[in-house]
Amino acid sequence: MKKIALYFTVLSALILACGCVHTAGKGQAASPVSTLDRISQRNLLVVGTAGSMPPLNMTTTDGDIIGLEPDLAERMAAEMGVKVEFKTMPFADLLPALEAGEVDMVLSDVTITGRRNMKVAFVGPYFISGKTFLTTETWAASAKKPEEVNSPDTRLTALNASTSQEFVEETFPQATLLLADDYDAAVKMVLEGEADAMIADYPICLLSVIRYPEANLFSVVPPYTYEPIGIAIQKNDPLLANWLENFLTTLSGSGELKGLKEKWFEGGTWIKRLP
């Protein structure tokens, strides 16, 4: 009997020990690796961008990604002591790519909205934008009333999965909405008469007027809406959020953020580098 009792005592101790080891192993595996750890380990910051939203982000004829947001990303990487890589994709694919962990953050003229904020976190804003329209002087001169614009005969183009699309759907629900994967395609629709107007953030509309002077394009400011633009990151990553908040605070307080905005919004020498 003593041997049997001793056997069960030893067996129980072994089971308990195995359970402790198993629990410890599970605890270690469940310990999350922060985005900053991942960036540091691979020595690379991966940023998602459309690369087609000037002057915030754009692709040159040489394939370089430039603009206000790429400049911000490059300064982030320098502060982290790592390299930076830009992954370009259609705007509609950016936030899903972030949720899937394919990019570390998204810097691509993304408006902070409650609906988006339910899936991803935002830091910012670092820029304030708003909706306006790009059209031809001929169409603008017709001075259409809102009720005339809100009809199937009006063709409006907007970026797919953007707040511009939401604006058209809410403000002009009866208009014919033509979705585009990027702003180059949307502007082309207006230039070629496939769309009467493009609804977009005002910097893109104003820049298009400058880029195509022979097309007699027309836009207006101030914008019709308030659009806070922020950095999108995965949810549940407080360390990265804190890092980015401090980064933007320092950049703003030092005057460097203001200087970057002046570089891209007041200086136009970079336009020659665009296709």
Asked if pLDDT for residue 264 goes beyond 80, the answer is yes
Cβ atoms of 34 and 105 within 8 Å: the answer is no
Say which residue the tokens 């910097």 belong to. 203
Q: What integer is the mean pLDDT of 26-36?
A: 65
Q: What integer is the mean pLDDT of 61-86?
A: 98
From edge to edge, which strands make up the β-sheet containing 52-53?
Answer: 52-53, 57-59, 65-66
Q: What integer is the mean pLDDT of 218-239?
A: 94
What pLDDT is stored for residue 31 in this prediction? 53
Cis peptide before 125 (omega within 30 of 0): yes
What pLDDT is stored for residue 156 in this prediction? 97
Q: How far is CA 56 from CA 3, 136, 201, 247, 261, in A?
A: 78, 24, 11, 18, 9
Over the stretch 95-130, which tens digit does the pLDDT of each residue have? 999 999 999 999 999 999 999 999 999 999 999 999
Sorted by where each starts, the structural domains of the chain and their CATH numbers stand as: 35-129+228-273 (3.40.190.10), 131-219 (3.40.190.10)
Q: What integer is the mean pLDDT of 135-146?
A: 83
Share of the chain above pLDDT 70, in %: 88
What pLDDT is stored for residue 146 in this prediction? 72
Over the stretch 161-188, which tens digit does the pLDDT of each residue have? 999 999 999 999 999 999 999 999 999 9
What pLDDT is stored for residue 267 in this prediction? 81
Is residue 121 classed as helix, strand or coil in its secondary structure?
Answer: strand
Rounded to two decimals, the pTM is 0.85
Residue 145 confidence class, pLDDT cut points 50, 70, 90 = confident
